[in-house]
Amino acid sequence: MDYKFIDGGVTAPKGFTAQGICASIKASNTTKRDLALIYCDTLCNSAAIFTKNLVKSDAIKVTQKHLEDGKAQAVIVNSGNANTCNADGYEKAEQMCKIAAKALSVSEENVIVASTGVIGQVLPIEPVIKGVEMMKGNLTKEGGTNAAEAIMTTDTVKKEMAAEISIDGKKISIGVIAKGSGMIHINMGTMLSFVTTDAAVSSQMLREALFEAAEDSYNMVSVDGDTSTNDTLAILASGKAGNKEITEKNQDYRIFVSALKKLFKEIAKRLASDGEGATKLLICNVRGAKTKTDAKGVAKSIICSSLVKAAIFGADANCGRILCAIGYSGMDVDVNKTDVFYKSEKGKIEVCKNGLCIEFSEEKAKEILLEKEIEILVNLNDGSGQAEAYGCDLTYDYVKINGDYRT
């Protein structure tokens, strides 16, 4: 596949502009961007997938309704308030769409809305009105980066990426922005992530592509085991690249999904490495499982273990905690065949063979684990199933951030 990363994010594909500004959604915030608009100059095919949490933000409910026809032209997103578990949440989410629709002269049914931040506090609508007013004449290609910033909460770096591929002889761009950080244990949807493309793809194929690409990327990230109430992954396809519209699972569809998956995997790593309080990215690669499901279950169990996460923070090459997490994963595993390695830029070291902890150089292990990106390689030696999951270490700062989040 012809694939390369390019500069930019959601405004990289043809037809899209965006902006993000500080609207002071939280009155105390007077500097951080917290309101974003993404706009396409043509009506797009669109799809979205959402959190599996039974408690859902009203923004999700409104977006679900607006996407029933598989069409969208704009996205409005705020940070600083999740608009979840509020008595007037649905009404506020609808108001946000109306405000954006009016300013951009599009139908409110074609606006996607999302919110992220504190749950259970009433969303003030005045800042949204003022903020949209400020942005409406100022949606640009350059504004994409501001939009990426505006959806951040406790994120410390913004997540935007874009890639270029070829489909049907046409150059196609795909752009992504995302926010993550805490309450991250992604399940079918993701935190917030917005994807744009100029490819021509039907709404139904967009939806299938999202599910398929998220499966091995976003859905394999966990920061703290808590599945958010606001997870939203939405895609808009302008069709401006001029390729023959993808309406079935043909070769073009496969190329498109592969490109999405590559992008999402990179973003997934960034979400994990910028998890709340995180100092290290943790990648757990499992192979040799009986099935892919077993591989995924084992990989997730390891990256979700508080004890493994704390050990990685302490650069402690603990073998027992990895085996322990494999043992309680609930997957079909023969622990007596299991080998475990730690790997980073400084090298690779085996700590477990055939389910038994083995002797290794503590010095070498420490050197490997002091790096910023740590791989845990697990070979179950029992089949061909494989999977990769993304997490981070558990640190003092995670506790600090979450012991005092609302105040």
* Residue 390 CB, nearest approach to a copy of itself (Å): 17
Closer residue to a copy of itself in complex, CB, 195/311: 311
Is 51 in the active site? no
* Residue 403 CB, nearest approach to a copy of itself (Å): 3
Burial of 65 (C-beta count, 10 Å sphere; 0-12/13-18/19+): middle
Closest CA to 177 of 199, 145, 206, 142: 145
Site residues (vs a copy of itself, CB under 8 A): 52-56, 82, 84-87, 118-121, 182-183, 185, 187, 224-229, 304-307, 310-311, 313-314, 316, 318-321, 323-328, 333, 335, 352, 355-357, 394-396, 398-407
Closer residue to a copy of itself in complex, CB, 208/332: 332
Closest CA to 309 of 187, 398, 402: 398
* Residue 71 CB, nearest approach to a copy of itself (Å): 29
* Residue 343 CB, nearest approach to a copy of itself (Å): 19
Radius of gyration of the chain (CA): 22
* Residue 329 CB, nearest approach to a copy of itself (Å): 8
* Residue 32 CB, nearest approach to a copy of itself (Å): 20
Closer residue to a copy of itself in complex, CB, 139/378: 378
Closer residue to a copy of itself in complex, CB, 236/389: 389
List the catalytic residue out of 17, 84, 154, 190: 190
* Residue 22 CB, nearest approach to a copy of itself (Å): 23
Closer residue to a copy of itself in complex, CB, 120/347: 120
Closer residue to a copy of itself in complex, CB, 101/352: 352
Residue 193 CB contacts under 8 Å (≥ 6 apart), including other chains: 176, 177, 178, 179, 218, 232, 233, 234, 264, 267
Closer residue to a copy of itself in complex, CB, 165/325: 325
Q: Which residues are catalytic?
A: 190
